[in-house]
Chain A
Amino acid sequence: MIDSVRKTVLAILNKNNYGYISPADFNLYAKQAQLDIFEDYFYDYNNQVNKENLRQSGTGYADIKKQLEEVIDSFSVESVLTQVTPTTNQYSLPADYYLVNKLYYYSVLLASGTVTLLSAPQLIDGAANFTETIRPGDIVVNLVTNAEAYVLSVDSPTTLTLSANIFLVLGEGYSIYSNTALREVERVHQNRIFYLTSSLLTAPTTTFPAYVLSGNTITVYPSSINGVTDIKAQYIRYPLDPKWTYFPIGLADSEPIFNVNAADYQDFELPDADEPNLIIKILQYAGVSIRELEVYGVAQKEEEEQNIQEQ
């Protein structure tokens, strides 16, 4: 989509000889435009929820909320969090998170150890006795990479077949958790956590844990939750920065040619339906950049009309 967007933007700008934007500038505007539209999805989603509550929205093809959910869910990621310091109850959130939706606590540790033999996609630990405690569906986490997989079958007391090959290096540690004892960790505001921990009825427990967020670090309560891979997050990540890549230019004044196979190529992550919005947004930035108020004005008017239509 990114090439199509760039061509359209350039076509509009060149039509009246408004100017030209370089690939580097385009990539900057494209990033900003994508972030703008990405954020708008959350506001649009809220508007749709309010409309539903007022009985002003339909079902089936008229279910706009469902469409918005699908787009937002395409940015949903699940990841086991990294512990800040061993045996503490603090964990780091991923650098690309936009919104933490849920935190989970793996409350029942079934087994742990180290891999003694590599065989994809298996977990082999010569010192283990998996037959007694492990069942298909239980969750295996690599303590080094935080990668996780599910147990597909218990082949022998020392061997499990996993849903993914998460062990690539001999001697890596692992933990196996019960898949039936996941607890949601609730976010609590900083100014509430003191009251919460002081109250007999609401003090966080391993059944009802809580966390507070400061910076990129979460602190989980009760502090007995301090295992290396105890906490998993389901979050919405930022979209990757779009990058229109091109072949090396031979002549100084020649037009760069799009290279879809470049290693750093990155298309927009928004759905195709957002192409007009991206073009409008990029034109706005370009209009400001080349000091063409007319371009900016037209793009803004177009956006306003679209907003009215979508409401």
Chain B
Amino acid sequence: MTYISQYQYYENGGNVPEDANWGSYQWVSLADIVTNFMLMYAGNHSLVNNVERYKVLFHAKRAVQELNYDAFKEIKVLELNVCDNLRFVLPSDYVNWIRVSLLKDGVLRPLTENIQINSATAYLQDNNCRILFDAQGYALEPQYSDIDLDRLTGKTKSIYLNSGSPYNGFYGWNIDGAWYFDFQIGARYGLNTETANFNPTFRIDSKKGVINFSSGMAGEMCILEYVSDGMENGDDSAVHVNKLFEEYVYAYIQYMLVESAIGVQEYIVNRTRKRKAALLRNAKIRISNIHPGRLLMNLRGQAKWIK
């Protein structure tokens, strides 16, 4: 990123989009990282010599990916409406989820992950439970498995939580927003805390790339907070790193190249490894923004009476 005038920064030099350069000074681009590394850390008198640029690029991107997974605080958020199929297709740059919420009546309700299976692939079977195959030898599959069908039609039981209701804690069926219950027979023992939530539950099917919801989510607005790998859908010119992590990325590239090179003394490999780890620690502390003002705000709550 070159230094730009205030006019370029605030109004993109009169071009569209106006906000193209807002906040740009906090980033260092992937192209700059590779260029700087080749210039300052690779060469005749450096630890790294005769290295192809694509190797530097590879390790630079890996560093950016690793940072995106746990060090950066860059959370992507996607809002989509969940239709009757109770499915939310994962975003194209999805790597892992942070929180799934239901947006209802202007309130964001964090949803609970249901660790029990709520979706399955099924094969068609005959009366003798033998699997049916097509002409190519592949097993025939129905559109929905029974467990999927139950979930989609609201036949799957879930717990009803409403302290003001006599049915509080009962298992029932949520069909189109209305609850139906069995007649109570015998005693009830405890609560399944995994699913004890008033809100719909979800389960992520990573293989199929979807989030499957329980039936209460039909027609509702879902907000997914997730992390990506920072690769910006393959657009190298858009990949960037916060400047607080710049030195770490150089150290990471250097370590990876030295570590995989033949004939490099182990003490040098160790030196680069320690430097990399130390820089990552420093950068994480810096980006966590721990400063007196923030601590003060938290400490002010210490004398609060909890009623």
Contacts and interface: CB of A to CB of B under 8 A. Distances in A.
Interface of A: 49, 52-53, 180, 184, 186, 188, 196, 199-203, 205-208, 210
Given A202-B58, A208-B57, A186 B44 contact: no
Contact of B54 (A52, A188, A206, A207): A188
Contacts, number: 41
B45 A202 contact: no
Interface string B58-69: 100110000000
A44 to B, nearest CB: 14
Given A205-B236, A207-B236, A53 B54 contact: no
B234 interface: yes
Contacts of B235: 205
B2 interface: yes
A188 B52 contact: yes
B54 A202 contact: yes
B44 A208 contact: no
Interface string B20-34: 000000000011001
B234 A186 contact: no
Nearest to B62: A201
Nearest to A55: B45
B45 A208 contact: no
Nearest to A50: B44
A53 B62 contact: no
A196 B31 contact: no
B44 A49 contact: yes
Interface residues of B, number: 18
Given A207-B237, A208-B54, A53 B44 contact: yes
Interface of B: 2, 30-31, 34, 44-45, 52-54, 57-58, 61-62, 231, 234-237
Given A53-B44, A201-B58, A208-B57, A186 B52 contact: yes
Contacts of A186: 52-54
Contacts of B44: 49, 52-53
12 contacts: A49-B44, A180-B2, A188-B54, A196-B54, A201-B58, A202-B54, A202-B57, A205-B235, A207-B236, A208-B54, A208-B236, A210-B54
Contacts of B31: 207-208
Q: Chain B CB within 10 Å — which of A53, A186, A206, A208 has the most?
A: A208
A68 B52 CA distance: 24
Nearest to B2: A180
A52 B45 contact: yes
A248 B61 CA distance: 68
